Amino acid sequence: ARTPEQETVRVINDTLRASGMNETMTYSFAEPGDIERLRLPAEGLGLAVELLNPLNADMSVMRQSIVPGLLRSVAYNQARGVMQALLSVKNIQLYEIGTVFAAAEGRKKAKERKKLAGVLAGSMRDAAWNSPAVPFDFFDAKGVLENLARELALPKVRFRALSAEEAPQ
């Protein structure tokens, strides 16, 4: 039998795949400035967990967020046409369920948490003779999240538009 956590992960995977997304796995190592470069809020992330013996200077901390790795994966694949070769399109729909790490003053062991992140890039479908390619937008992502919230029976999920000052740039 599955544990409750394993069952939740199964429901998430099934729902996101049914929504057209593909699961990926990125490195648990990250660049020290990833969070600042993306202008993600550092609230609740804790301190970065520094590696004592990193493989290289670019990946010298454990990741605090899955988002930078996903965006790096999209950029890498689009720049090299990898997704084009696999899917014959330049449209990417990825998600990852992974562990993020946080340190705290006075604590010897890092705190580990499971997180979910996703990215939509390109368009839902290629242009055809009778319809143009329509780029992904907020409502495509909202639809995926609404499906997931319904399947997980999450109560009272609301969406709120950010003001220009609140949004990462």
Contact 51, 124 (CB under 8 A): no
List, for residues 55-99, the tens digit of each pLDDT value: 888 888 999 999 999 998 888 877 776 555 554 447 889 999 999
**pLDDT confidence of residue 114:** 94
Q: What is the full DSSP assignment across 26-90?
A: --SEE-TTHHHHTT---TTT-B--B-SS-SSGGG-EE-S-SHHHHHHHHHHHHHHTHHHHHHSSS
Q: Which of 85, 81, 77 has its CA nearest to residue 24?
A: 77
Contact 144, 21 (CB under 8 A): yes
Residue owning tokens 């809020």: 41
- Please state, in angstroms and as integers, the Cα–Cα distance from residue 29 to each residue in 51, 122, 145, following that order: 9, 27, 27
**pLDDT confidence of residue 154:** 92
pTM for the structure as a whole: 0.84
- Name residues of the chain where pLDDT drops below 70: 81-89, 167-169
Residue 114 tokens read as: 């499971």
Helix and strand element counts for the chain (H, E): 5, 5
CA–chain centroid gap for 6, Å, is: 19
- Please state, in angstroms and as integers, the Cα–Cα distance from residue 50 to each residue in 47, 60, 67, 90, following that order: 9, 6, 19, 35
**pLDDT confidence of residue 88:** 42
**pLDDT confidence of residue 84:** 53
Q: Which of 95, 98, 72 has its CA nearest to residue 148?
A: 95
C-alpha 86/C-alpha 70 separation (Å) is 18
